[in-house]
Structure 1
Amino acid sequence: MRRLAGLLALALLAGCATTGTNGTTRPGLAAVEVDGDTLVYRGPIEAWGFEQAHALLEMDVGIRRLAIASGGGSIEIGMLLGALVRDHGLDVRILAPGCYSSCANYVFPAGRRKTIDPGAVVAWHGSAIQERWDVPDEHEEALELYLAEARARQAAFFRSIGVDEQVTVIGQQLGCACTWFLTAEDMARFGIRDVEVPPGYAATQVAVDDQANVRLLELPATLPPPPAF
């Protein structure tokens, strides 16, 4: 699994970088720049984008906020980017069309104050603690070894930000074959607080083709127990 992940990372990291006066971008991948007191990140959660964000934060002590639009990406890099947000005490602003997968899991909840723009959503669809993984039989043993490490790191990360990691799998536990988002009140049930959502957030229509199965998840009064490993 590590070899497979490494090959995928190399594929994502391929390409030519171009540098501007206040940020860096690569065609088709993450674009990272500074706009006033805001670090702006658009694109996948991957090593190159994280490295640029880290470098800009180290250079510019005036950054107070991360504005991000991302479809997600690596579990490990998501936690690293979330740790940057946590350690620098950044507010997080979610740009349209939104923050999905590892962005929702690790970056959004790490923010000090969190704002979601009109037309954007924060949506989850699983994490290292999900119970079902569709992999060929020959990779199952390697996957289990990888997940044992990833689950331990993920648990430690969520403890560090005071958030219940069950938020990353609650839709699966409730039988939602979807990518789900939550009201601010339901986010708070998992410890994700200080969230400002736009008017009509619960009825947000996602206008991105590959996110067509995104919908609001209505939680029951009593939640199922978290996954146990």
Structure 2
Amino acid sequence: MIIQFVAAVSIYASSPDADPGARAKASVDQIRSGVPMCFQEEDALVFVGSTDSSLVECLQSAPSQTRKLRITSNGGDAALAIQAARMVTARNYALIVRGVCFSACANYLVPAARSLEVEPYSIVGLHGAPEEGEAFIKLIQDEVERQQRQAFPDVSEALVAEGRAKMRDIVVGIVASHKQFAIDHDVGGGWYSLKDFHTDVAAFGPNDFAVVDPAYLARHVPQLQVVDFWSPADARDREILAENAHGAALHYRNQAIDEEL
């Protein structure tokens, strides 16, 4: 793993008074560099990057005095995110979100934590989770096959079939781990299905994110202690969040619909 202390200093030297979203934006910009960061700041382990092996390695490297995980993550590998989340639970870490905690980060790291703090101009964003059934398996198989044929135009049909079979086994395993995680952490189904996240889209794609608010969190992860949860107060706040999200489509819950139901 590459640990960048210089980049870390630039993030924490940003003045939130000059630009309310500066610290959050600097953290998200680091993700776009493609180089993960992992370092210790007092009793907090700080990680900036995807939920892949670098996150697991970062947690494994944490000193014994660590009590918190401060994270900026666009998500990534679900299986490794679940592994990392179980480490967070075992160590009883508090979670602090700076910038973004998207996709697998929100799915698993948030429910696994002892407590949650969402810093100013930061987002917890959901867009679904691994699903049971042939339709989901085929969706993943088709995408992997597309990438395989694009990279290797002359690939044999036998190798394509072998790849699809292996991907089936991988997806089935991830779905089983996902289901067990939800049971172990008493996570409400809506956290993953978003069936009661009333908003302006019929379905969430890879670049669509449901922006979690405190009430939605309390409904689906009721056992999680919330230390502080910043939420946008006006249109300007939402503009800053959109700028920090680097093109991700952010969707907000229509709470008026909830009140009518």
Q: Which range, TM-score by smaller chain?
A: 0.7 to 0.9
Q: Write out per-residue CA displacement over residues 78-101 of structure 1, whole angstroms, 9 at most, x where no aligned residue.
A: 0011111111011100002x1001
After TM superposition, give the deviation of residue 121 of structure 1 in Å. Answer: 0.4
What letter matches 1:200 in structure 2? P
Aligned with 2:169 (options 111, 125, 145) = 145
Partner of 1:185, secondary structure, is helix
Q: CA deviation at 1:163?
A: 1.3
Query: Which runs of structure 2 are paired with 1:47-196 in the superposition (5 Å)?
Result: 47-56=53-62, 60-96=63-99, 98-129=100-131, 132=136, 133=139, 135-136=141-142, 142-170=166-194, 175-177=202-204, 178-192=208-222, 193-195=224-226, 196=228
Aligned partner of 1:197 in structure 2 is 229
CA–CA separation in structure 2 for the residues paired with 1:188 and 1:104: 14
User: 1:91 corresponds to which letter in structure 2?
Assistant: A
Contact 1:164 1:191 in 2 (8 A): yes
Q: 1:181 to 1:173 in 2, by over 3 A?
A: closer
CA distance change for structure 1 residues 53 and 110 in 2, over 3 Å: closer, same or farther? same
Q: Is the 8 A contact 1:109 1:163 kept in 2?
A: yes
More displaced, 124-133 or 106-115? 124-133
1: CA distance, partners of 2:4 / 2:112? 28
The structure-2 alpha-carbon separation of the partners of 1:129 and 1:211, relative to structure 1 and needing over 3 Å to count, comes to farther
AA at the equivalent of 1:48:
S
Output the CA distance in 2 between the equivalents of 1:94 and 1:141.
Answer: 37
- Structure having the higher helix fraction is 2
Displacement of 1:200 in angstroms is 3.1
Aligned AA (1:157): F
CA distance in 2, matches of 1:78, 1:155: 14
CA deviation after TM superposition for structure 1 residue 159, in Å: 1.8
Q: CA RMSD in A?
A: 3.2
Residue identity matched to 1:47: S
> In 2, distance between residues paired with 1:176 and 1:217?
13
Say yes or no: does 1:45 pair with 2:45. Answer: no
**Paired residues of 2:4 and 2:37 also in contact (CA < 8 A):** no
TM-score (norm 1): 0.74
Rounded to whole Å, the distance in 1 between the matches of 2:177 and 2:57 is 20
CA distance in 2, matches of 1:143, 1:215: 31
Task: Give 5+ residue unaligned stretches, structure 1.
Answer: 1-15, 223-229
Q: Is the 8 A contact 1:124 1:169 kept in 2?
A: no
Q: Residue 61 of structure 1: SS of its match in structure 2?
A: coil
1:67/1:201 Cα in 2 relative to 1: closer, same or farther (>3 Å)? farther
Match for residue 212 of structure 1 among 248, 253, 260? 248
d(CA) in 1 for partners of 2:165 and 2:171? Answer: 10
Instruction: State the TM-score, normalizing by the size of structure 2.
Output: 0.66
Change (3 A) 1:18 1:70: closer
Aligned length: 200
Partner of 1:7: none
- Measured after TM superposition, the shift of residue 36 of structure 1 is 0.2
Q: How far apart, in 2, do the equivalents of 1:55 and 1:117 lie?
A: 25
**Aligned equivalent of 2:154:** none
Q: Which amino acid aligns with 1:99?
A: C
Q: Is there any run of 5+ residues in structure 2 with no aligned partner, and where?
A: 9-30, 146-160
The CA deviation at 1:158 is: 1.8
